[in-house]
Amino acid sequence: MLASPEMLRHLCGMVTTSAKPRKSPQMNLADTRLFLEALARAHPDAKSDLIYTDNFYLLVAVVMSAQTTDAAVNKVTPALFAAAPTPAAMAALGEEKIGQFIRTIGLWQSKAKNVAALSRLLVEQHGGIVPHDRAALEALPGVGRKTANVVLNVAFGESAMAVDTHIFRLGNRTGIAPGKTVREVEDKLVKRIPPDLLRDSHHWLILHGRYVCKARTPECWRCVAAEWCRFPDKSPPPLKPLPRR
């Protein structure tokens, strides 16, 4: 009997679009800890993939990373910060010249405008220092709640949870924090993750979503936390090629 295309896609671990995915039930609190502890063991030195040397560099890099990979941002920021290492120098460099350094990343025109403007505000309103305050951060051009959460978490050591596309997907797929909106997932994660794990969970979840629990086809067969994941349609391992005769 020949296998159907749908069967072959399932055997190879590919996600099909013909069937509506089943909703994952919410993970219980005990399993939430075990799930995250498994990720912690897999990523003992988890940290941001963005390259930065100080809080200003981090802030600008995070602003630039919107709808752009960290790898792409890391290619343009060293030259930019060599030319303008401080908020005052960046403001003096100006939107047009900033744009010349970052043309290879997505939405570079608006990002160049925002980086120039936020640099001016840092000089004018904060003495050239990145503020340790959510409201002040979110008042800066190009800085929304997610960017502010990254800065508060990474730069200032707060247990803030920045929900990007990876964490939003994991929150719903694994059942750790199901929600229809980014803010709902964020609030549930903050409420349900044990306080001693909350700050680092931001990095564990991003790395897991980026490299294992991928959007199109989660690689469940190599997930260290699969035992506690509530995703009902786990992907099987891909078929091994037949040996040559």
Please tell me the predicted confidence (pLDDT) of residue 238.
85
Residue 81 and residue 164 in one domain: no
Pick from 135, 154, 173: which residue ends a domain? Answer: 154
Beta strands in the chain (DSSP E): none
12 has pLDDT over 50: no
2 has pLDDT over 50: no
Domain coverage including residue 171: 24-46+160-222
- Does residue 235 sit within a domain? no
Report the pLDDT averaged over residues 171-187: 97
Separation of alpha carbons 162 and 146, rounded Å: 5
Report the pLDDT averaged over residues 40-51: 91
pLDDT band at 62 (very low <50, low <70, confident <90, very high): very high
- Does residue 242 sit within a domain? no
Residue 30 and residue 73 in one domain: no
- Does residue 12 sit within a domain? no
Please tell me the predicted confidence (pLDDT) of residue 16.
44
Residue 91 and residue 168 in one domain: no
Q: Which of 124, 101, 99, 128 is nearest to 112 (CA)?
A: 99
- The rounded percent of the chain whose pLDDT value lies above 90 is 82
DSSP 116-155: HHHHHHHHHHHTT---S-HHHHHTSTT--HHHHHHHHHHT
Catalogue the active-site residues. 146, 164
pLDDT band at 242 (very low <50, low <70, confident <90, very high): low
Please tell me the predicted confidence (pLDDT) of residue 166.
93
7 has pLDDT over 80: no
| 8-17, 125-134, 182-191, 209-218: the lowest-pLDDT one | 8-17
- Does residue 18 sit within a domain? no
Separation of alpha carbons 35 and 171, rounded Å: 12
5 has pLDDT over 70: no
Separation of alpha carbons 223 and 208, rounded Å: 9
With beta carbons less than 8 A apart as the criterion, state whether 84 and 93 touch: yes
Please tell me the predicted confidence (pLDDT) of residue 18.
46
Structural domain count, the chain: 2
CATH of the domain at 138: 1.10.340.30
Residue 40 and residue 123 in one domain: no
Q: Which helix (H) or strand (E) holds 190?
A: helix 182-192
Q: What angle do CA 206, 210, 215 make, to 5 degrees?
A: 115
Please tell me the pTM assigned to this model: 0.84
| 36-40, 46-50, 143-147: the lowest-pLDDT one | 46-50
49-59, pLDDT tens digit by residue? 899 999 999 99
Residue 69 and residue 109 in one domain: yes
Label residue 202 exposed, middle or buried (CB < 10 Å: 0-12, 13-18, 19+): buried
CATH of the domain at 196: 1.10.1670.10
Residue 65 and residue 136 in one domain: yes
Pick from 124, 154, 184: which residue ends a domain? Answer: 154
Residue 90 and residue 174 in one domain: no
Q: Characterize 85-97 residue by residue with b for buried, 16 or more Cβ atoms within 10 angstroms of its Cβ, and e for exposed.
A: ebbeebbebebee
Average pLDDT, the chain: 91
- Does residue 194 sit within a domain? yes
| 5-14, 69-78, 155-164: the lowest-pLDDT one | 5-14
- Does residue 180 sit within a domain? yes
With beta carbons less than 8 A apart as the criterion, state whether 122 and 89 touch: no
Report which DSSP code applies to 220: G
Residue 59 and residue 125 in one domain: yes
Residue 193 and residue 147 in one domain: no
Residue 84 and residue 111 in one domain: yes
Please tell me the predicted confidence (pLDDT) of residue 89.
98
